[in-house]
Structure 1
Amino acid sequence: MADSLLGFFTLMDNQDGTIVRDPPNFDLDLYIQNYKGRTRFDRLFLIGRSSVPLCVDALKAAIAEAKRGRDTHRYREVVECLRVAAPSESEASFDQAWLEAQDAANQVETNRLLTELKGYKNNLIKESIRMGNEDLGKHLESIGDLNSAAETYSKMRPDVSTPKQFLDVGKHLVRVSIQRREWGMVSAHLSKMGGAQHAEEEKAVQPYLKIAHGIALLGQEKYKEAALSFLSADCSISASTYSELASQSDVAIYGGLLALASMDRNELQANVLDNAHFRTFLEQAPHIRRAVAQFVSGRYSACIAILESYRPDYLLDIHLQKHTARIYAQIRSKCIIQYLIPFSCVSLDTMNKAFGGPDQGVEDELADMIQSGALEARINTIDKLVTTKAANPRAQMQDSALRAAENYERQALDRLRRMGLAAADLELKGGKKLGGLGNQGDFMIEETLG
């Protein structure tokens, strides 16, 4: 078993896969119960290909999930992985009878739905055509033909007649686009759904729109916009309405992590800790609240320690895995910068105690931050000191006084011009901009008729 697992993860590593050797903080069975739909298989399969401790259990659970559905391609793919990772497991052999029966049933169902849809089109009944396209789209999605499913769902639009039907079409297209990782299309479909909201539908669909939009923005690496989208989701709506996308714990983790990576302390306090709507989500992931609170309180090493203890979990998340390294790097960079602000000089030993790891110091990281311009400081390698560039209070005062004098002079000239215009019996009317009037607006000069 050990040799097989080693060979499997060597293969995954050669394919640039993410390998997580530390056990996560969640129970696999309890974790997967938070989701419904095709995302259940996707998450199990990702954990099986990434987590060394959970590999076999996750792949076996993914095989069981695949056999509860109709997608034979998924079943073949996960069984091939288990055959490499644990060939002695009974699930590592193909269930050929199930495969043949399911492929035949899929073809029969596809032909039946196509025939029914053709009949509906001949009868020109809009509601029947809409329902026929929806049934066919769901079937095509269930067997893994996502391209055809998206085309079929799109054909429903001309035949919708109620706001709910319009939103259902949007949800179908958003779901398929997320599975295909087409983040731009997700945003496009969501914008159409948002523009067509009605008062009675708005509250029920709000968390779905916000969470799906957040996932799309995360996929496009727009971290602050994604954080704001997650943070504005309505927690009062049942989690079952968006469980095909994420769980309540996921929303708290996505929103909190991305906020830590992209917001300053005041924004974190206002948008995360003091956000009444987001508090219910944070209750499902209390470690995120603790991490944000530690950052806001200036306990940066404690914040990083909390996040590091949950890094394996985030590396096994279907939406966070590719972004975890960058998000953590941004959070560490912010913590180091904030830590250095009150000091003009800090010893490297102190920095290593606060931010260094057991086998790695912080000196190289500081050098990279200084080179990139993220940190204005110098490293004294002889005395082992980090010296920040202190601001010159006298120069700051002189610059402030100069700007105030320039602003006063500009305002005085504007007033003198206006007084001159009034003395010359000229009237100011809205229109062409008069040069030199600064912030006074756009005007045109017209001689007053006596």
Structure 2
Amino acid sequence: MADSLLAFFTLMDNQDGVIVREPPKFDLDLYIQNYKGRTRFDRLFLIGRSSVPLCVDALKAAIAEAKRGKDTNRYREAVECLRIAAPSEPEATYDQAWLETQEAANKAETNRLLTELKGYKNNLIKESIRMGNEDLGKHLESIGDLNAAAETYAKMRPDVSTPKQFLDVGKHLVRVSVQRREWGMVSAHLSKMGGAHHAEEEKAVQPYLKIAHGIALLGQEKYREAAFSFLSADSSISGSTYSELASQSDVAVYGGLLALASMDRNELQSNVLDNAQFRTFLEQAPHIRRAVAQFVSGRYSACIGILESYRPDYLLDIYLQKHIPNIYSQIRSKCIIQYLLPFSCVSLETMEKAFGRPDQRIEDELADMIQSGALSARINMVDRLVTTKAAKPRAQMQDTALQAAEEYERQALERLRRMGLAAADLELRGSKKTSLFPSEGELMVEETLG
């Protein structure tokens, strides 16, 4: 099996896949129980293609999940991967009987639903047409025809009659767009859902809207906006309402990581640690709370240490995987800048102890930050020191005072000029426009003046 696993991950590496060799901290069976819908297969399949320790177990679970559904293409993909990674496993052989039976059933069900929908359209019953399109859309989504499913769900809109139905259509379209990774379409559908104008219905779906919007913004690398979206999700609503997208622990991780990458210490304190609405999510991922608290307290190396220990877990997340290098780089840069802020000079040995990592020397990382403009400092390789460019508070104070004096002088001259014009009776007064139908008050004023 070792040789086949090596061949499989060599293939994944050649396809620019992410390979995670360290075991994650989560238990696979408990992890996947937090989700429902098609995301269960997506997550299992990604773990199977990325995690060396969990590869075989995840692919076998993905095959079992595919067989519980109707999507035969997913089943084939999972079996093909397992056939390369562990050809001796029983699940690595195609269940041809199941494939033929399921494909025939899918075709028959599609024809049946199309015939029913045609009959509803002939009868011109709006509610039946809406339900027929919904049933057909769900079926097309379940068999993996996402393009046709999106078109069918969109046809429901003219026939909706209640706020709940309106929101249901939006959720269907958002779910399909998320699966297709069309982040712009996700945002567009969510903006339409926000106009339901029904307080009770909107409150029930609020976490779904915020989490889906955060995922879409994350996919577009808008980390700060995504962080605020996750942080504003209402944790009092049951997690089952959005479990087809993410779990409560996921929301805490997404919100905490993106906040660390995009917010300063004061913002982290107020928007994360003191956020009562987000606290329930943080309880599901206490390590994220610890990491944020360490950063706010100025213990930057401890913050990075916590995050590094959970890097394998985050690299196995379907939404985070491609963004982890960028997010972690931004957090490290912030930690290093904040660490150097109180000092004018720090030794490279001290920096290495605080932020060193085996794959890169700290001086190389600092040089990259200086060249990019993120860090204002100099590296003395002779004495092995990092010297920050000293700020000049006295000069800054003088510049601020001079600017304030110039502004005061400008305003004083403007006031003197206006006073002179008023004293010489040279002010220009605009003529008052009269209405074709003056009010009673205006007539009284004119009579008095007359």
Instruction: Quote how far apart the aligned CAs of 1:428 are.
Output: 6.2
Instruction: Quote how far apart the aligned CAs of 1:393 are.
Output: 2.5
Q: Who is 1:129 aligned against?
A: 129
- Structure 2 counterpart of 1:211, one-letter code: I
Instruction: Quote how far apart the aligned CAs of 1:360 are.
Output: 3.6
What TM-score do the two structures reach when normalised by structure 2? 0.94
Whole-Å separation in 2 of the counterparts to 1:413 and 1:113: 80
Q: Is the 8 A contact 1:256 1:289 kept in 2?
A: yes
Larger deviation: 200-209 or 325-334? 200-209
Q: Classify 1:158/1:421 alpha carbon distance in 2 versus 1 (closer, same or farther; 3 Å).
A: farther
Instruction: Quote how far apart the aligned CAs of 1:197 are.
Output: 3.3
Q: Who is 2:370 aligned against?
A: 370
Alignment of 1:42-57 (within 5 A): 42-57=42-57
1:74 aligned to 2:38? no
Q: Who is 2:341 aligned against?
A: 341
TM-superposition CA deviations, 1:216-275 (whole Å, max 9, x none):
000000000000000000000000000000000000000000000000000000000000
Instruction: Quote how far apart the aligned CAs of 1:397 are.
Output: 2.0
Local SS of the residue matching 1:122: helix
Instruction: Quote how far apart the aligned CAs of 1:355 are.
Output: 0.2
- Structure 2 counterpart of 1:52, one-letter code: V
Whole-Å separation in 2 of the counterparts to 1:150 and 1:310: 36
Q: Who is 1:16 aligned against?
A: 16
Whole-Å separation in 1 of the counterparts to 2:191 and 2:155: 18
Instruction: Quote how far apart the aligned CAs of 1:420 are.
Output: 3.3
- Structure 1 counterpart of 2:43, one-letter code: R
Whole-Å separation in 2 of the counterparts to 1:206 and 1:428: 54
1:198 aligned to 2:198? yes
TM-superposition CA deviations, 1:335-369 (whole Å, max 9, x none):
00000000000000000000002454211000000
Whole-Å separation in 1 of the counterparts to 2:192 and 2:418: 49
- Structure 1 counterpart of 2:5, one-letter code: L
- Structure 2 counterpart of 1:159, one-letter code: D
Q: Is the 8 A contact 1:45 1:58 kept in 2?
A: yes
TM-superposition CA deviations, 1:15-53 (whole Å, max 9, x none):
000000000000000000000000000000000000000
Q: Classify 1:262/1:161 alpha carbon distance in 2 versus 1 (closer, same or farther; 3 Å).
A: same
- Structure 1 counterpart of 2:234, one-letter code: D
Q: Who is 1:293 aligned against?
A: 293
Local SS of the residue matching 1:221: coil
Q: Classify 1:374/1:74 alpha carbon distance in 2 versus 1 (closer, same or farther; 3 Å).
A: same
Q: Is the 8 A contact 2:174 2:186 kept in 1?
A: yes
Whole-Å separation in 2 of the counterparts to 1:219 and 1:164: 28
Alignment of 1:296-311 (within 5 A): 296-311=296-311
Local SS of the residue matching 2:346: strand
Whole-Å separation in 1 of the counterparts to 2:99 and 2:197: 43
1:426 aligned to 2:430? no
Q: Who is 1:438 aligned against?
A: none
Local SS of the residue matching 2:339: helix
Q: Who is 2:119 aligned against?
A: 119
Local SS of the residue matching 1:378: strand
Whole-Å separation in 2 of the counterparts to 1:195 and 1:414: 49
Q: Who is 2:27 aligned against?
A: 27
Q: Is the 8 A contact 2:196 2:202 kept in 1?
A: no
- Structure 2 counterpart of 1:325, one-letter code: P
Q: Is the 8 A contact 1:421 1:427 kept in 2?
A: no
Q: Who is 1:350 aligned against?
A: 350
Q: Is the 8 A contact 1:260 1:268 kept in 2?
A: yes
Alignment of 1:174-193 (within 5 A): 174-193=174-193
Q: Who is 1:263 aligned against?
A: 263
Q: Classify 1:396/1:118 alpha carbon distance in 2 versus 1 (closer, same or farther; 3 Å).
A: same
Q: Who is 1:103 aligned against?
A: 103
1:384 aligned to 2:384? yes
Q: Classify 1:380/1:57 alpha carbon distance in 2 versus 1 (closer, same or farther; 3 Å).
A: same
TM-superposition CA deviations, 1:138-190 (whole Å, max 9, x none):
00000000000000000000000000000000000000000000000000000
Whole-Å separation in 2 of the counterparts to 1:179 and 1:273: 32
Whole-Å separation in 2 of the counterparts to 1:180 and 1:357: 36
Q: Who is 2:36 aligned against?
A: 36
Q: Is the 8 A contact 1:36 1:243 kept in 2?
A: yes
For structure 2, which runs of at least 5 residues remain unmatched after alignment? 433-448
Question: Superposition RMSD on alpha carbons, in Å?
Answer: 1.5
Instruction: Quote how far apart the aligned CAs of 1:417 are.
Output: 3.4
Q: Who is 1:63 aligned against?
A: 63
State percent identity of aligned pairs: 87
Whole-Å separation in 2 of the counterparts to 1:69 and 1:340: 54
Larger deviation: 419-428 or 392-401? 419-428
Whole-Å separation in 1 of the counterparts to 2:426 and 2:131: 73
Q: Is the 8 A contact 1:217 1:225 kept in 2?
A: yes
Q: Who is 1:235 aligned against?
A: 235
- Structure 2 counterpart of 1:54, one-letter code: L
For structure 1, which runs of at least 5 residues remain unmatched after alignment? 432-448
Q: Is the 8 A contact 1:20 1:312 kept in 2?
A: yes
Q: Who is 1:145 aligned against?
A: 145
Whole-Å separation in 2 of the counterparts to 1:142 and 1:69: 7
Instruction: Quote how far apart the aligned CAs of 1:106 are.
Output: 0.2
TM-superposition CA deviations, 1:305-324 (whole Å, max 9, x none):
00000000000000000000
Q: Is the 8 A contact 2:211 2:230 kept in 1?
A: yes
Local SS of the residue matching 2:387: strand
Aligned length: 433
Whole-Å separation in 2 of the counterparts to 1:120 and 1:418: 77
- Structure 2 counterpart of 1:197, one-letter code: H
1:2 aligned to 2:13? no
Whole-Å separation in 2 of the counterparts to 1:110 and 1:205: 30
TM-superposition CA deviations, 1:417-446 (whole Å, max 9, x none):
332343326366799xxxxxxxxxxxxxxx
- Structure 1 counterpart of 2:148, one-letter code: S
Q: Is the 8 A contact 1:157 1:166 kept in 2?
A: yes
Q: Is the 8 A contact 1:63 1:75 kept in 2?
A: yes
Alignment of 1:80-91 (within 5 A): 80-91=80-91
